[in-house]
Structure 1
């Protein structure tokens, strides 16, 4: 599987989150504590928003822990919203187009998990992608197909609804092909203004996901902690694993739910697949 983090708040240097915490994403690339694999070395990527409405991305196929360009970039890029992802392949090739995050217009998307039996149902799922989006699929991962299915099903106008319809579609196609538990996912999506993070699996045993605690309260508890000290009042993070040894800094995202981050505030809402997507799967 993979590990990832998403940040939203006042602009900070990317290295402050990607490299500097005690259990940073770079440390997790070698010593993951909650992932399926301890090592996540099958590529990495960062995506960030700057002065333009569309985000920039940098992805590479090597391990994050030894990439000098990643260290150089994160020490010079300041951003108010960014994604970072380290990859452990579930079977697809280690190539740049398979590294997260994925981008379309102003949207970024990243995923930890898998579509079970993807090789069996890949063609049927790909054919459900809108023709005007299909040519933009560059890689071979289930994660990217999930993204373009969500875009097809209305991500730009209704992100939670689109992801629910996407999951419903994948589950319907999977079960029709004898796959008992088709979906395992923690997914992050953002448009430069708002951030959504979903935790769901068909089996209801989803991969780990946490959101950061209110910063003001943490400052009172840990006045000398560097990670807490640098965070602004509106800073919010969602991570696959806690970034440090401050237990009160992190809250687990509940099973079958999603987090909406906007204007420096969290909202946690229930998530379930939408059966409306079944109609899409049945189209000729």
Structure 2
């Protein structure tokens, strides 16, 4: 399983979260504490927003802990919203095109988890994509396919419904193939203004996502970045809609219900 973090708030240098905390994302790439796979060495990626129309992106296939370019980039880039990801492959090749986050236009997406027996359902899920989305696919991961499926299901009009519809379609195909292993997903999605954070699984054990909030910012991470600060676990089977530092919670199984205010 991969590890990731996302930040939104007052501008900071990215190394303040990627490197400096006692259990930073770089530390998690070597020694994850809340994942089946402790080492995440199959590439990494950064995505960040500035005043430009589209986000910046950096991918590399080296282990994150040994890349000097990453040290320099995170030390010098200051941003109000960014995502970072260290990868542990569940079968797809190690390549830049398979590293997160994935970007289309102003949308950015990353994922921890997996579609079980992906090779058995990949063809059916891909062939259901419209041609213009199928041709956007650059890599071979289930994660990128999930992102493209969200566009098919109306991401631009209603992200929450698109996320649920994508999860439902994946579950339907797994059921058709008789695949009983769970589909797991902790995802982070942004349009450059807001975040959507989902923690979901077809069993009772979705990948972990934690949140830390102050008056100046909000941070999401697969694991707490330190022991001194207060970190709250995001409830299982839930979707957070993050506007500024306000988070709205919805049950992933009841997306027709109104959002409930969880944090403010």
Relative to the length of structure 2, the TM-score reads 0.94
Which structure shows the higher helix fraction?
Answer: 1
| Count of residues in correspondence between the two structures | 256
Please say which of residues 180-189 and 71-80 is displaced more in the overlay. Answer: 180-189
Paired residues of 1:49 and 1:55 also in contact (CA < 8 A): yes
In structure 2, distance between residues paired with 1:21 and 1:149: 35
Secondary structure of 1:75 counterpart: helix
Q: 1:261 & 1:141 partners in 2: Cα distance? A: 26
CA distance in 1, matches of 2:133, 2:56: 20
**Larger proportion of strand:** 2
Task: Compute the displacement of 1:155 (Å).
Answer: 1.1
Q: Displacement of 1:182 after TM fit?
A: 4.7
Q: In the TM superposition, what are the counterparts of 1:59-78 in structure 2 within 5 Å?
A: 59-78=59-78
5 Å-filtered alignment, 1:16-165, equals 16-165=16-165
The residue number in structure 2 matching 1:235 is 217
Q: Report if aligned partners of 1:116, 1:182 keep a CA contact under 8 Å in 2.
A: yes
Q: Please list the CA deviations of residues 65-107 of structure 1 after superposition, one character each: whole Å capped at 9, or x if unmatched.
A: 0100111111110111100000000011011100000000000
C-alpha distance in 2 between matches for 1:252 and 1:68: 32
| Higher Rg of the two aligned structures | 1
- Structure 2: give runs of 5+ residues left out of the alignment: 256-264
Distance in 1 between the 2:254 and 2:27 partners?
34
Show CA shifts across 1:112-152 (max 9, x none): 00001110110100112221111110000000000000111
TM-score of the superposed pair, with normalisation by structure 1 = 0.88
For the aligned residue pairs, the C-alpha RMSD in angstroms reads 1.4
Question: Is the Cα contact below 8 Å between 1:23 and 1:244 reproduced in 2?
Answer: yes
Structure 1, gaps ≥5 residues long? 216-232, 275-284
Deviation string 1:239-275 (CA, Å, 9 cap, x unpaired) is 10000012x521000010011211221222211288x
